[in-house]
Amino acid sequence: MDLSTTYLGLTLRSPIVASASPVSQRVEDVKTLAESGVGAVVLYSLFEEQIRSQQVEDYVITDMAEDLYSEASSYLPEPATTAYGGAVPYLEHLERCVDAVDIPVIASLNGSTPGGWTAMARSLESAGAAAIELNVYAVPGDTRLTGAEVEERHLEIVSLVKAAVTVPVAVKLSPFFSATGAMVLALQQAGADGVVLFNRFLQPDVDIERFTVAPAASLSVRGEARLPRTWIAMLSRRVQLSLAATTGVELPEDVVAYLLCGADVVMTASALLRHGPAYAAQLQAGLEEWLARKGFTSVADARGLLAVPEDVDASGYERAGYVAALQNARAVYGSLTW
């Protein structure tokens, strides 16, 4: 069975990819992922705040010592530390992972504002990253910030990162753009090589007894896959960049559904966190079993069979599906106002 696929111009042996998560914090677990058959591993994220914090600390150390006496220069941080500070452990881990496995290791860079931190991408490339996944995680809490300004910020960050590296760059997107399709096309024009659909915002929880609000992280569930599947089905024949699916991948059937909609790769983090990195082998075995049972000889044979046809109006196509869903719901639940 040929499970190979192409993502960001990279040839992968499998469309199943380990998404950025704590699963990749240990080299041993990255090796287990590779042994379990994944096509690539996206490392846990390096955050803009980590880079900026260490840059400030290094600046203070340098500023205090540089005027003492000439020999003081030997006590200053080394250039790599001064430039990239808190990222050094990440870079070292990236190098170890690249050396340990024979599949592409993709670095994840997480930020929300344009700035010098994006130059870190060059160092990630030097450390062996086969590609960079750019996670622009920004909740526009300023009510005066317009949708166009939010989009422009994303495009500026992408342009800065693309200018710094030669390896492919994928952008992990939020599902909350007013026109997701137009945003994907704009990212394509800005030079992005792929998009990952979709990022999940960590929304706060409320304790009604203690009157507190606290950040809360939860693993995705299968039902959350419907939204990214919808957009992948609409985009797969209308854009030239790679499409990665993420969210709601728990069973082999979820991998298959994303591929049928047109995804080039299917990423999972929650399933690996629930069941361990070796669980990737079960996802792969289930995919192979389904392909064989349906008479396919490769992933390419099945990919995009349920994508929105190129020669139809995608908006009308989705509207028709919406109306049909409501009609089905009324048949089950009775006459309701929707």
Chain-centre distance of CA 103, in angstroms? Answer: 17
3-class SS letters over 24-45:
HHCHHHHHHHHHCCCCEEEEEE
Residues 200/175, Cβ–Cβ less than 8 Å:
no
Q: Residues near 194 by Cβ (< 8 Å), separated by ≥ 6?
A: 7, 8, 168, 169, 170, 171, 241, 242, 243, 244, 264
Domain match, 277 and 334 both:
no
Mean pLDDT for all residues in the chain: 86
Separation between Cα atoms, residue 62 and residue 74, nearest integer Å: 11
Total tally of structural domains belonging to the chain: 2
The predicted model gives 287-302 an average pLDDT of 98
Predicted TM-score (pTM) of this structure: 0.85
CA atoms within 13 A on the CB side of 2: 12
Label the pairing between strands 194-197 and 242-245: parallel
The pLDDT, as a whole number, for residue 332 is: 63
Domain span at 336: 313-338
Domain match, 181 and 323 both:
no
Separation between Cα atoms, residue 24 and residue 34, nearest integer Å: 11
Domain match, 246 and 321 both:
no
Predicted confidence (pLDDT) per residue in 65-75, tens digit: 455 555 554 54
Domain match, 251 and 337 both:
no
Q: Does 4 have pLDDT greater than 50?
A: yes
Tokens of 94: 């990236």
Confidence of residue 336 (pLDDT cuts 50, 70, 90): low
Alpha-carbon torsion angle 91, 95, 100, 106, nearest 10: 70
Q: Residues near 232 by Cβ (< 8 Å), separated by ≥ 6?
A: 197, 243, 245, 258, 261, 262, 263, 307
Confidence of residue 217 (pLDDT cuts 50, 70, 90): confident
Predicted confidence (pLDDT) per residue in 45-60, tens digit: 999 888 875 554 444 3
Separation between Cα atoms, residue 245 and residue 338, nearest integer Å: 29
Higher pLDDT among residues 181 and 202, named by residue = 181
How many H helices and E strands in the chain? 13, 12
The pLDDT, as a whole number, for residue 86 is: 63
Which residues partner with 67 through β-bridges? none
Domain match, 122 and 240 both:
yes
Domain match, 45 and 167 both:
yes
Domain match, 33 and 127 both:
yes
Tokens of 103: 């599949």
The predicted model gives 71-81 an average pLDDT of 47
Residues 168/131, Cβ–Cβ less than 8 Å:
yes
Return the CATH number at 170: 3.20.20.70
Predicted confidence (pLDDT) per residue in 121-168, tens digit: 999 999 999 999 999 876 667 788 898 998 999 999 999 999 999 999
User: What proportion of the chain, given as a percentage, has pLDDT over 70?
Assistant: 81
The pLDDT, as a whole number, for residue 310 is: 79
Predicted confidence (pLDDT) per residue in 299-331, tens digit: 999 999 999 997 777 666 555 554 555 456 556
Domain match, 163 and 240 both:
yes
Q: Does 40 have pLDDT greater than 50?
A: yes
Domain match, 188 and 44 both:
yes
Domain match, 63 and 114 both:
yes
The pLDDT, as a whole number, for residue 82 is: 36
Q: Does 239 have pLDDT greater than 60?
A: yes
Give the SS3 label for residue 108. Answer: strand
Domain match, 298 and 327 both:
no
User: What proportion of the chain, given as a percentage, has pLDDT over 90?
Assistant: 66
Domain match, 335 and 268 both:
no
Separation between Cα atoms, residue 249 and residue 4, nearest integer Å: 19
